[in-house]
Structures are given as structure tokens and as C-alpha cells.
Chain A
């Protein structure tokens, strides 16, 4: 066992670029959505809140895999002229799904800023936008960061699902290997390398999330 490292590992790692790309595109989309949807959910207008809430509940209420299949298989059939590349469909699904989760982080961070802060800003005659930009967001942001860090780990794990739509990521390559190496010992080997690869990818994110958590709790008492 573990004697085929030199043949298996490089083959699996060919999918590394794809996994990392889906992760980066997905994360970029997810955090943009998170901030937009999170802010929308704290809006004073009921209609804006409702739009964001429907979006978030829609994506949180169904599975990532269902969404991915919908985007890749159903959407092109539903609307003529839409054809998505695998990469686009995969990153879009991952980004939208985890964006919906992360928007809850943004919302709870904004909600946990004490009402006195808003009142103080009002008494200083700040405009609504100034209040948000200068008083609320800088404080809320540090509370969001640990949540974002953990979300990134979840997102990285979520990228493995692009295997199902046929995108050649790490998981996909490992499964190709599995098809041609049917001995149990080779299978153990292949998936062990795959698990370790994902763990090594997640490791910096874990460390980052830990660090952010420690920093966010420093010198603040939340009530």
C-alpha cells in the first residue's frame, strides 16, 4: 500500500487548478453576494428585505447539488440561448449557495451592533449612508471575518461537487484513477491522497479562521 504515490499523486493533482479556480471564483461571488444580500436584509424598505430573504431562503432551502444540476442541465433547456461552460455553472452554483449562507453572517454581524451606535450617529447628524459606512460597517466587519473564514472552508468542500457535472477537478481525477485501478489497496491509496490534498488546501483557511476568531474576540465584549 501507498507504493504508487509517484503515479497517482501527480494525476490527481492535475485537477488542482480546476478546484482552486472554482474555489476562487466561487468565493469571490459568494462574498460579493453575502455583503449585498446581507445589507439588503437590514434595509428599511420591506420590498428590498423580502427580495433578499427570498433569495437566501431559496438557496439555503435546497441542496447545492440540486442547484448545480439546475444551473447546468435545466437552465439551458428553460431559456433558449443560455449555454454555460462547466466552470461557469460550477462556480456560479457554489458561489450562489455559499453566498446565501454567508449573507446570514453579514446580517447577524450588522444586527449585533448596538443600537446606541446608530443613535449616536444620528445625534451627530450623519446621513444614513455615512452611518453605515463610518460607524456600523467598520464594527460589523470584524465580527463577520471569523464567519467568512469558516464559510471559506465549507466552500472549498463544496467545490468537490463539480465532479457530478463533469468538471475535471481533484475528485474527478481520483475517480478516473479508481476506474482503472480496481484493487482495494489502490482505492484506499487514491482516496487517501485525495483526502490529504483537500486537507492541505483547507489548512491555510483553518489557520486563518482561527486567527480571525481570536482577533475578533480580543478586547470586545458583546452584549
Chain B
């Protein structure tokens, strides 16, 4: 083992890979907020009373979910003037917005029908009902699940290797192909992903148990990758 794992080399390249983490994290955070916003829009449009709109949104969501984010990255990167970073944020944000919209949907479905009726009885408009009655009850219970998606997104950022963004994985591969030793850089990246994602996953699981008990309702989600 000692002849293949070179501590001096690992120590030398560690700062380079670690400094690339800022790119990884800024992609993650930007894409995450994009997905929360677009996800909500998807979820609301899907319930639109205008059926053709609702159906076409459902179709778009299904198509985005069924095709690889990597291909979507290539598509946007090579057909638009966006930079790799912007492409990454846009594509990951919209790809995961389709998952996020399912989460919102499950939250919205969990709000009892009587809440709508109460709103109607008070003569609320549709927009008022959403803003004052439904969303405040639908979103808090699903916050832990939304948190999960921050970690999922974080783990998807190595895809940006395909559009030449120097995040952690690209940096590691660049070092690997210059020095012909891949063991140290790739292990360091794996390690960094692990120590950042695992504790957050544990925290979210804890949160989920807590919030789940608090609201006393089980929220069903379809095919969520957590």
C-alpha cells in the first residue's frame, strides 16, 4: 500500500483540490436556489385549471426527469453562449426542480381539503388562498426533504467536468493526467465529498424525524432519490 499511496504527493495536491471546493459549493448553492424556485413554479403550474398548460408542464417534467443531466448540460453548453458555470447552474437547477416540484406537490396534497373550503368560505381569491393558507401549511413539513436535495445536487456537481468547469473532480482529474497518479487525487475528492455530505445527511434525517413527528403526517413521494 505504501508504495502506491504517496503522502507527500497527497499533501502537496490537497490545497489545490480543496481550493476548488468553492466552485463546487457555489454551483451547488446557486443551482439549489434555482431548483427551489423553478420547482415551486412547476408544482403550481401543474395544478393549473387550464388543462393544456398543466398537461404540457407534466410532460416537460417527465422528459427532463427521464433524460440524463449530462446530456442536458452538453445541449445547453454547445447551443447557447452561456459559460460552463452558468450552464451547470441552469441545467442542474432545472433538472432537480422537477424532483423538487414532486416534493412540493406531496406537501400540497397533504393539506386537507377543508382548508380550501375554509378559504372559499372567507371569500379568498385563488392567489390569496395559495399565499395565506395552502403554502404556509404545505412547505414546512417538506423542508427536510428539500434539504436532502441540497446534498443530492452537491454530489452531482462532478458532472460539470463535461463543460470544463474546474470544480473538485475536474481539478483532481487534471492533476491525475499530469502526474499519472490518480489514486491520491480521486481518493481525496471522494473523501471530501464524504465528509461534507454524510454529516449533513445525518442532520437532515434527524430533522425529518422531528418535523415528521411534529406534523403527524406521512408525506408520500414518488421515486425520490435521497
Task: Scan B1-31; emit 1 where CB is below 8 A from any A CB, else 0.
Answer: 1001100000000000000000000000000
A203 in contact with B66 (CB, 8 Å): yes
Question: What DSSP secondary structure best describes chain B's contact surface?
Answer: helix
Residue of B nearest to A79 (CB): B4
Within 8 A of B (CB), among A201-223: 202-203, 206, 209, 213
Most chain B CB neighbours (cut-off 10 Å) among A69, A151, A156, A206: A69
- A11 on the B face (CB < 8 A): no
Report if A63-B68 is in contact (Cβ < 8 Å); known contacts: A101-B225, A191-B74: no
Within 8 A of B (CB), among A43-92: 57-58, 60-67, 69-70, 73-74, 77-78
Within 8 A of B (CB), among A159-197: 159-161, 163-164, 171, 174-175, 178, 184, 187-188, 191-192, 194-195
Q: In which size bucket is the chain A interface?
A: 35 or more
B169 proximity list for chain A (CB < 8 A): 63, 65-66, 69
B residues at A contact (CB < 8 Å): 1, 4-5, 62-63, 65-72, 74-75, 78-79, 155-159, 161-162, 169, 172-173, 176, 181-183, 186-187, 189-190, 193-194, 197-198, 201, 222-223, 225-226
A residues at B contact (CB < 8 Å): 57-58, 60-67, 69-70, 73-74, 77-78, 101, 104, 146-147, 149-151, 153-154, 156-161, 163-164, 171, 174-175, 178, 184, 187-188, 191-192, 194-195, 198-199, 202-203, 206, 209, 213
